[in-house]
Amino acid sequence: MKLANSTLIVFSLLLALWGCGKNEEKPIARKFRYRTSSLLQRDCTLKFPQNGLCSEIKWISGPSADSASSFEVTFWNIKNETANPLIEPAAQVGAFIRMSCCGSLFFPKVSKLETGKYLVSDVKFTPGKWEVYVQLKNNNLTEKQFLNVNLDD
């Protein structure tokens, strides 16, 4: 009986020493911190150094050769690691797509959604390799950047 009581006491002490009652960090807090930082970080996929801006394309629908596609373009200061706040370009925002093989061009609709955010809609692709251009035009200065889109079958 004494051995059973001694074993129980030793087991209880070991359990207490190995973490019983420790206040651990909750997983929800870690997830929240991660989600917050990921929302603030953006990729500067299109750089406009002459205008001091970064830009990113976010596809709303597409890209697709089966139906009209659309995407949002956002602009922020090139010196910021985050896209907050968005900045309105001093230049006129435009967009077009160009087929890599033969140079065919298509000019979609561009409309301002809010400060530093534009919607490019009614983008009509056909199967093939395309370049999606975003441009900033101010008087005689035009700055263009593009992303490649491959819609081969």
> Going edge to edge, which strands form the sheet with 92-99?
105-106, 92-99, 129-138, 141-150
One-letter amino acid at 58 equals K
> Helix, strand, or coil here: 147?
strand
CB 48 within 8 A of CB 110: no
pLDDT at 9: 57
pLDDT in tens, the chain (153 residues): 555 555 545 555 444 444 444 444 333 332 223 233 334 456 789 999 999 999 999 999 999 999 999 999 999 999 886 777 999 999 999 999 999 999 999 999 999 999 999 999 999 999 999 999 999 999 889 999 999 999 986
DSSP 41: B
Give the pTM.
Answer: 0.71
**What architecture is domain 44-150?**
Sandwich (2.60)
State the pLDDT at residue 12: 52
DSSP state, residue 83: -
With the C-alpha atoms ordered 12, 13, 14, 16, is the resulting torsion angle positive or negative?
A: positive
